[in-house]
Amino acid sequence: MKNSEQEFLKSAHGGDSKIGDINAILEWVRAQNDRVEVEVERIAFKDMTHWGFDALSGSLRHDSGRFFSIDGIQVSTNWGTISSWNQPIINQPEIGYLGFIVKRINGVLHFLVQAKIEPGNVNHVQISPTIQATRSNYTQVHKGRKPLYLEYFRNVKSDNVLLDQLQSEQGARFLMKRNRNIIINVDEDIPVYDNFEWLTLQQIKTLMRFDNLVNMDTRTVISGIQFSDPSVTCTDALRYLADSTETAKFEYESLKSVVTTEGAVHSINGIIHFLTDIKSRYDLIVDRIPLNDVKQWAVLPDEISRGDGKYFKVIGVNVAISNREIMSWQQPMIQPSQPGICAFVCKKINGILHLIVQAKLECGNRDIVELAPTVQCLTGDYRQPDSQPVPFLDYILGVSREQVVVDCLQSEEGGRFYREQNRNILVIADESFPDKLPDHYIWMTLNQLFYFNRFNNYLNIQARNLLAAIAFS
């Protein structure tokens, strides 16, 4: 396995594409969009076939008990200024596949992507992994078609597994949800079905500069591919791919570089100490309560929402799509009240690029806090005069244009979230930016973030999304 991993990482970065240049890919996505009809209309919960409110728990659930449910929770914590609250949350305990098949073509690794429709997508079709399948999905609870390429993942030999990690999803929306982020290699020729195409990692990263084009599932999987030259500075690291199509500049050195990176502000043990200290001091107690008892939220005939309109609402939709496993269905979705901002502030310290990482408690976290971007908030948070100031937000919104390396809108997963998008920003601070950070914030190098990203429940989805964008912006 080790040899193929190394080869993978060497060949994944850069190289010639098969489909051609970015314009050809954009044209392909556009053509896919033209070929499908998508209709999403809001309906009352009672009109959702196979979905209903459980008499006992009040949860909004599928008759089969599978897929996911909308439950009520009571949260208690000694973190932050609000010590207890109620909210609805998505409960999806099954671990699904988010997987890519990769294959060496003309000496360069290509990723088999799907131009996939999801009902919640703002622009309908997005670049998606080869497979996105919940366990209910691939065990065919809904009697639809078996997901394409499933058998490659089910029957893969260990030697062909290049990456296989459990990664968390939005802790404010999901109760301890995780998915299996997996990349497998094939050597043989395989069929390329309708809507599928081979792209290089470089192309996928380039497509991430466009708003809402690369879906969340793609971004989380590729965030696991390590970026590794220990000597990279901010400029080199962040602008590398714009200037270069060489292969193999990025070697599989990341683990080694964690050890040899003399300039890191904190050691790995120091970062573990930072997390242990926080996890020891803060409690996160989440109890399930009946959905009807969720305070400040009302279960109405066609939505579950707060009187003040804050945060999000749960809605029911009827979906009709022409190129999906099932042509039409009903389901609940989450509709956000406003877009959010996820941003990292970076700075060169001791000659090495460091990022400001915050330990963030979210109610659905499996282990109290996860490592999050410097800023992660709803835009509504800071527009209201009574809200707490968000550290570093003013700085990020006020920096000069040339310090901004990434700035685009990225969609959340369109199978659960209705037209949710967050602004992803990455800025480079200059020398005058203070090194001292508030409590719960820590400087980490890129390699240290990649190091922790291999393990369960360290980096949250928002941090991983930005990580996916960083390497090649």
Q: Residue 95 or residue 298: which is nearer to its own copies going by CB?
A: 95
Minimum Å distance from CB 65 to its own copies? 12
Nearest distance in Å: CB 285, its own copies: 8
Give the residue with the Cβ less far from its own copies, 268 or 289: 268
Pairing status of strand 38-43 against strand 312-321: antiparallel
Decide whether 213 or 284 has the Cβ nearer to its own copies: 284
Q: State the first-to-last Cα distance of the chain, in angstroms, to the nearest integer.
A: 30
Task: Give me the least distance between CB of 256 and its own copies, in Å please.
Answer: 5
Instruction: Report the distance separating Cα 261 and Cα 186, nearest Å.
Output: 34
Find the shortest distance in angstroms from Cβ 177 to its own copies: 13
Give which of 170, 175, 198 is closest to 28, Cα–Cα.
Answer: 198
Kindly report the three-state secondary structure assignment for every residue of 312-370. Answer: EEEEEEEEEECCCCCCEEEEEEEEECCCEEEEEEEEEECCEEEEEEEEEECCCCCCCEE
Measured CA to CA, the distance from residue 86 to residue 247 in angstroms comes to 51
Closest C-alpha to 372, from 452, 286, 255, 273: 452
CB of 181 to its own copies, least distance (A): 9
Distance CA 88, CA 73 (A): 6
Residue closer to its own copies (CB basis): 142 or 366: 366
Sequential DSSP letters for 154-221: HT--GGGEEEEEEEE--TTTBSS-EEEEEEEE--S-----TTEEEEEHHHHHHHTTSTT-B-HHHHHH
Number of H helices and E strands in the chain, helices first, is: 13, 24
C-alpha span between 453 and 447 (Å, rounded): 10
Q: Which is nearer to its own copies, 371 or 426 (CB)?
A: 371
Residue with Cβ nearer its own copies (117 or 225): 225
Burial level of 437, CB count in 10 A (0-12/13-18/19+)? middle
d(CA 196, CA 206): 18
Query: Residue 253, SS3?
Result: coil
In whole angstroms, the minimum distance from the beta carbon of 137 to its own copies comes to 14
Q: In this complex, which beta carbon is closest to its own copies, that of residue 183 or of residue 234?
A: 183
77/379 with CB nearer its own copies: 77
CB of 246 to its own copies, least distance (A): 24
Q: How far is the CB of 392 from its own copies (least distance, A)?
A: 22
Q: Which is nearer to its own copies, 89 or 369 (CB)?
A: 369
Residues near its own copies (CB under 8 A) are 1-2, 5, 93, 95, 158, 161-166, 180, 182, 255-256, 258-259, 266-270, 272-274, 276-277, 279-280, 283, 285, 366-367, 454-456
Minimum distance, C-beta of residue 269 to its own copies, in the bound complex (Å):
6
Distance, in Å, from the CA atom of 398 to the CA atom of 353, rounded to the nearest integer, reads 21
| Closer by beta carbon to its own copies, 126 or else 228 | 228
Pair 116, 130: CB distance under 8 Å: no
Whose Cβ is closer to its own copies: residue 67's or residue 311's? Answer: 67
Least Å from the CB of residue 101 to its own copies: 16
* CA gap 48, 256 in Å, rounded: 53
In the complex, minimum distance from the CB of residue 387 to its own copies, in angstroms, rounded to a whole number? 31
Q: Is 63 helix (H, G, I), strand (E, B) or coil?
A: coil
